[in-house]
Amino acid sequence: MKKDFSRREWLVGAGAAAGYLLTRPALSFAQTTLPGPTPEYGLGANARPGRVTVGKCMDYGPNLIPTLEKMFDELGGLGKLVKGKTVAMKVNFIGVRWQRLGTAPMEETFWSHPRMIGATVHLLGKAGARRIRVLEGPWSTAETLEEVMLAQNWRPEDILNAAPNVEFENTNYLGQGEKYSRFMVPGGGVVFPGYDRNHSYEDCDVFISNAKLKEHAATGVTLSMKNIYGTTPITIYGEGAGIDEPAIRPQGGRGGVFHFARRAPSKSAPQQIDPNFSKDQGVRLPRIIAELNAVRPADLAIIDGIKTATGAETNYGSRPQAAVNPGVIIAGTNTVATDAVAMAVMGFDPLADRGTPPFANSDSMLRFGEELGVGLRDLKRNEVVGVPIAEARFDFTAVRERILREAGKT
């Protein structure tokens, strides 16, 4: 596992220190006290305060780059983090690409937007990044990311030309690497002791999670932490993964291994610690996601909430969902703190756990991320700058209730 010095250095450069208090207008919910379960990972003392910034931007037009640039400056400046370095940025192309929500394009509901990707790449290049690698594992395919983008009528060359030395790689399989990279969970893990990934997540100096602001059918929310779940190769963790060794080509999704334990990953990878561990996805996924965040913590988390969808991470057809325009961006120095602020913007309590929205049937991945030392979910223990949360708030629950009310289901 590569040690993540740059994240700590950037936190120091940004002025982050223990004891920060949130000096923002009161939110419309009251944060709970920290939940009582005995920690399963026991590394929470290693968690440090993060700095998170909130920005308002209503579309992907001319205001996007200056908004992002101001937000990155509020985090301490990109140059301190990326100058002269190789940057890997994981984006989000969730699920089957034709599962649109009505007529809304995927990038305005469930996927990263090409202009958000391009704007971030441009600013990374401007800040002096030596090499920029845009990464994703699209569902069940070995196609290049260029082909996936072209299928959505995007212009991949706009991203490739946004800065010098920009590359794409599909990390669903071995790709351009000679072998998979192994990342071990600090403290040994609870579900898996470690995870094998495409080389791209090791062969970088800086790692960025560039996610979408969404709810999730199984885990309550999908933000910068859940985005990292998609770093696992389908050839090892997919339904069609090889039994002994990774498959040559990716096939299927990750549900059989991670959600429901219907099968094991390829035997070449670290195996589940306890064969009898719960098969409840609401138990498994939050822990697996937290472990994946801990094996190689992101140095920068970005969450696009300019345009997105409510109700779930993709179009299920039967859920109360809508394409919405919250007009917000959240960015921060670790995924736990950034997701905590994003949850507050969505109208949820970041200290909530199973049984409290949005975690109706799931444990909180943020709690386990904190236990693993990735970051802190208590807003009062992080520094939040930029637009006050109360001014950026977009109530996802209210949208869902309105949809149900209009359908005569409440």
> Residues 193-244: pLDDT tens digits?
999 999 999 999 999 999 999 999 999 999 999 999 999 999 999 999 999 9
Q: Is the CB of residue 258 less than 8 Å from the CB of residue 284?
A: yes
* Predicted local confidence at residue 403, as pLDDT: 85
The ranges of the chain with pLDDT < 50 are 1-29, 33-35
- Eight-class DSSP state of 77: -
Whole-angstrom distance, CA of residue 235 vs CA of residue 219: 24
The total of other beta-carbon atoms located within 10 Å of residue 244's CB is: 7
Burial class from Cβ neighbours inside 10 Å (0-12, 13-18, 19+) for residue 370 reads: buried
Going by DSSP bridges, is the β-strand pair 220-222/194-197 parallel, antiparallel, or unpaired? unpaired
Give the DSSP H or E segment for 117.
Answer: helix 114-126
Q: Where in the sequence is the domain holding 343, given as residue range(s)?
A: 5-406
Measure CA 210 to chain center. 7
The residue assigned the tokens 């736990």 is 336
* Predicted local confidence at residue 18, as pLDDT: 33
Token pair in block for residue 244: 């002994």
Q: What residues pair up with 208 in beta bridges, in sequence order?
A: 89, 300
Q: What residues pair up with 305 in beta bridges, in sequence order?
A: 328
Q: What are phi and psi of 338, to 5 degrees?
A: -65, -45
Using alpha carbons, select from 133, 54, 126, 28 the residue that is nearest to residue 306.
54
The total of other beta-carbon atoms located within 10 Å of residue 291's CB is: 28
Q: Is the CB of residue 343 less than 8 Å from the CB of residue 349?
A: yes
Q: What are phi and psi of 293, to 5 degrees?
A: -75, -30
Whole-angstrom distance, CA of residue 216 vs CA of residue 90: 19
Query: What's the structural domain count of the chain?
Result: 1
Whole-angstrom distance, CA of residue 95 vs CA of residue 189: 27
List C-alpha distances in Å: 1 to 45, 128, 208, 267.
20, 26, 17, 20
* Predicted local confidence at residue 410, as pLDDT: 64
pLDDT tens-digit map of 123-155: 999 999 999 999 999 989 999 999 999 999 999
Q: What residues pair up with 89 in beta bridges, in sequence order?
A: 134, 208
Q: What residues pair up with 87 in beta bridges, in sequence order?
A: 132, 206
